[in-house]
Amino acid sequence: MNMTMMGGSWAELGSRIAGLVFVWATIQQFFPNQLRIYFEKLIDRFLATFYPYIQITIHEYSDGRRNEVYTAIKTYLGAKSTVQARSLKADKVKNSKSIVISLDNSEEVTDEFNGVKLWWALKQTVRNTTMFTLYQSDSEEERKYYKLTFHRRYRDIVTGAYLSHVMEEGKAIQLKNRQRKLYTNNPSDKWSWSGKNLWSHIVFEHPATFQTLAMDPKKKEEIINDLIGFNKGKDYYAKVGKAWKRGYLLYGPPGTGKSTMIAAMANFMNYDVYDLELTSVNNNTNLRKLLIDTTSKSIIVIEDIDCSLDLTGKRKKKNEKSEDEEHNDLIHIKEKEKEKDDGNKVTLSGLLNFIDGIWSACGPERIIIFTTNHVDKLDAALIRRGRMDMHIEMSYCKFEAFKVLAKNYLDIDSHPLFGTIDSLLQETDMSPCDVAENLIPKTASKETCLNDLIEALNKAKESAKLKTEKEAKNKKLSSKAAKKYSHIWMQMIGKLRKEK
Ligand SMILES: Nc1ncnc2c1ncn2[C@@H]1O[C@H](COP(=O)(O)OP(=O)(O)OP(=O)(O)O)[C@@H](O)[C@H]1O
Ligand SMILES: [Mg+2]
């Protein structure tokens, strides 16, 4: 804080204040209450003439608890002070992935907001506290606080917009620096009575990014843009009256990168991941409790949704039904479920409520992802647009995806063998997982890896051909048998009729 800028000589001001304190003490002794209030006001006015600055103090602890505002200010000033302050502190803070820089004691920084100049200082008081233990002893307790000084002219702007800005910035930096977590739900019957152990977590450290994800580049860009739009959509969602959340359905054969995509999304958005194991949830109420216990800026994942709930069978003739019939069907299913709901299982309507019921809006900025290998097995109501806003097909490896894998695994952008691989990938279905397996360098030669892949692709092509031939043969045989038996059947019926 630049003290010389704040007007007058400090020594002079100090002696005036000392004089006033003396006068004040005398007044307190000899004068009645009303007169004392009058003098108090007079002194305030007198001080304000010489010292037009206001100070706000923010203590580290408030009502015995750590003050959230103090923490946000500390983070905010940490970012400012790296360029200004001469004395800084570096700490490894719990739940933070990097070292946190903050102001050292008695250091000061200047800030500017919409043309208003402000001065911040970190102060510390030491209090003697007596510990009443067996060996009664004295100990010193440190109390830290930030002091913000500004001209009284800017009182409104500082107490309003500026402090909100500091809080928002501080929280955003905290979020960016935090160590992200991967949660999984504990089985409902093992929840503690306090209800605090609904989820267990570990640190989330998956290396997948969109850059290393092998898929069609256009599709990848579309997904990235969708996520960016969602991330910036706070005002839009509020304006249209929608809860700030988005659903993605990832479907495709095994090993095509669905789980990898979830990790890439979480890294891109800087979100936590809640991996929800539906089979460990014993009823709809507990499912709702789990939802309420998730934080904002998180992805809730239900992997292999088709295996988690019995959603099949009810809509086998889906393609034959009109939209109206589908709708009525859903109402019917919900009613039937309600009738037999014994509170011992998660039902389709419970899951639908989980996704977009009134409780789903309880924490903003959340993404829900379902993955499945069999999209056609899922109930249309579960994945309709609005619930699962974007349906993403993760398909077998094509040449563009292969190029990403070749770059990741072999660090090459081109090779004379790429042409052969391109044409083989057009004729054969191989998952990125299997392609990647062949690209892991087992020997020093990159060419050997590519040749291994070509060999694997040729084998896959050959076995696919054999499979198709076998299927065609079986089909032919069964249609021949069907014809034969229908012929015999007809002959029998004819005979019976004649006999009649
Ligand atoms: N598109 C991809 N891009 C990069 N790596 C991939 C991709 N697909 C698969 N892999 C690799 O294969 C491994 C398995 O992929 P992943 O678990 O994401 O597949 P999945 O689609 O979730 O499979 P499943 O349906 O069996 O759950 C990953 O660890 C990753 O290394
Ligand atoms: Mg998976």
pLDDT of residue 313: 39
List, for residues 217-250, the tens digit of each pLDDT value. Answer: 999 999 999 999 999 998 888 888 888 999 999 9
d(CA 345, CA 285): 9
Contact call for residues 264 and 208 (beta carbons, < 8 A): yes
Q: Is the CB of 302 under 6 A from ligand 1?
A: no
CA of 395, nearest ligand number: 1
Residue among 260, 431, 437 whose CB has most ligand 1 atoms within 8 A, to mutate: 260
Nearest CA to ligand 1 atom 24: 254
Q: Is 368 in the pocket of ligand 1 (CB under 6 A)?
A: no
203 CB contacts (<8 Å, ≥6 apart)?
Answer: 179, 180, 181, 182
The Å distance, Cα 204 to ligand 2 centre, comes to: 16
Query: Looking at the predicted structure, is the pLDDT value of residue 113 above 80?
Result: yes
CA pseudo-torsion sign 405, 411, 413, 417:
negative
Give 299 Cα–ligand 2 centroid separation in angstroms: 15
Helices (H), 51-134: 68-84
Q: Has residue 86 got a pLDDT over 50?
A: yes
Whether residue 419 contacts residue 450, with contact meaning beta carbons closer than 8 Å, is answered with no
Neighbours of 451 (CB within 10 A): 14
Phi-psi region of 42 (alpha: psi -120 to 50; beta: other; left: phi over 0): alpha
pLDDT of residue 316: 40
Ligand 1: residue of 250, 259, 404 to mutate (most ligand atoms within 8 A of CB) is: 259
Residues 435-443: what's their mean pLDDT? Answer: 85
Q: Is the CB of 436 under 6 A from ligand 1?
A: yes
CA dihedral 126, 130, 131, 133 (to 10 degrees): 160
Question: Which of 10-24, 35-49, 117-131, 458-472 comes out lowest in average pLDDT?
Answer: 10-24
Mean pLDDT on 441-451 = 84
In the predicted model, what is the mean pLDDT of the chain?
A: 82
Per-residue tokens: 267 = 């890294």
Average pLDDT over residues 391-414: 95
0.95 exceeded by the pTM?
no
Top pLDDT among 150 and 474 is at 150
CA 304 to centroid of ligand 2, rounded, Å: 8
438 pocket-lining for ligand 1 (C-beta < 6 Å):
no
Per-residue pLDDT, averaged over 168-182, amounts to 88
Q: Which residues surround ligand 2, an ion (CB under 5 A)?
A: 258-259
Query: Does ligand 1 lie within 6 Å of residue 435's CB atom?
Result: no
Residue located nearest, by CA, to atom 30 of ligand 1 = 433
Give me ligand 2 centre to Cα 450, in Å: 26
Closest residue CA from atom 11 of ligand 1? 433
**How much of the chain exceeds pLDDT 70, in percent?**
77
Of 73 and 13, the structure prediction assigns the larger pLDDT to 73
Which atom of ligand 1 sits closest to the CA of residue 253? 25
Q: How far is the CA of 253 from the centre of ligand 2 (A)?
A: 10
- In this predicted structure, what is the pLDDT of residue 459? 94
Kindly state the helix (H) or strand (E) to which residue 41 belongs, with its residue range: helix 33-50
> How far, in Å, CA of 352 to CA of 359, rounded?
11
pLDDT band at 8 (very low <50, low <70, confident <90, very high): very low
Return the ligand 1 atom nearest residue 215 CA.
1
Q: Which of 256, 374, 409 to mutate to test the pocket of ligand 1 (most atoms within 8 A of CB)?
A: 256
The rounded Å distance from CA 246 to ligand 2 centre is 20
The number of the ligand nearest the C-alpha atom of 208 reads: 1
Q: How much distance in Å is there from the Cα of 348 to the middle of ligand 1? A: 28
Rounded to 5°, angle at Cα 282 from 281 and 284: 85
Q: What is the pLDDT of residue 5?
A: 37
Local structure of residue 160 (DSSP, 8 states) = I
DSSP 412-463: -S--TTHHHHHHHHHH----HHHHHHHHS-SSS-HHHHHHHHHHHHHHHHHH
How much is the average pLDDT of 329-341?
A: 57
Q: Which fold has domain 181-393?
A: Rossmann fold (3.40.50)
E-assigned strand segments in 278-376: 298-302, 366-372
- For range 52-68, the mean pLDDT: 86
> Could you say which ligand is closest to the alpha carbon of residue 252?
1
Closest ligand 1 atom, residue 260 Cα: 18
Residue 51: is its pLDDT beyond 50? yes
